Amino acid sequence: EISTEYKKQVMTTKEMSQFIKIDNEGNRRNLLDNACIVEIREKNMLLSGKATFSTQDTNNLNIYIYGNMTGKYKLSLYGDFKQLPINGCDYVEVDIYKNEYTIVPFAYDAKYVAQYKNLFAILAPMDFKNGLEKSASIYITTK
């Protein structure tokens, strides 16, 4: 099954400026040009490295997708390289537009928390002109 449920958000000037880097020679570079950045967040906080999830309750998370590689993608979620459902579906089909970002809310069920030690998301292009993108891997601890 494929879901198409996600939210789009236009990037503010302040949000866009977070992706602008200046090199040693003073050249400005937008990290979103020719790229997509995939992040897993909890309560708007980026998860990377190690995160603690509940084995008793549902863990409500979001996948944020930033980038200027416009096109149609399929987003999938993995626990220790095994595909996990996102809100009961195998994939979420998303459209990426320049200067916008996508938010995919999902529940990471307690039954998966106890089974897997790593969690990550993959964004795969459907038209092959763009590249495959992966979120940071999150090492899971339980409470």
Predicted local confidence at residue 66, as pLDDT:
95
102: phi then psi, degrees, rounded to nearest 5: -115, 140
Predicted local confidence at residue 139, as pLDDT:
95
Predicted local confidence at residue 110, as pLDDT:
83
What is the C-alpha to C-alpha distance for residues 36 and 41, in angstroms, rounded to an integer? 16
What is the C-alpha to C-alpha distance for residues 66 and 135, in angstroms, rounded to an integer? 11
Predicted local confidence at residue 57, as pLDDT:
85
> Over its length of 143 residues, how does the chain's per-residue pLDDT go in tens digits?
899 999 999 999 999 999 999 989 999 999 999 889 999 999 989 998 999 999 988 899 999 999 889 999 999 999 999 999 999 999 999 999 999 999 999 999 888 888 999 999 999 999 878 889 999 999 999 88
Predicted local confidence at residue 111, as pLDDT:
81
Distances (CA, A) of 134 to 35, 120, 125: 11, 7, 12
Contacts with 55 (C-beta within 8 Å, 6 or more apart), sequence order = 110, 113, 114, 142, 143
The CA R_g of the chain, rounded to the nearest whole Å, is: 16
The two structure tokens encoding residue 63: 């996948």
Continuous segment of H or E residues that includes residue 110: helix 110-113
Find, among 62, 54, 63, 64, the residue nearest to 109 by Cα: 54
Instruction: Give residue 125's Cα distance to chain centre.
Output: 14
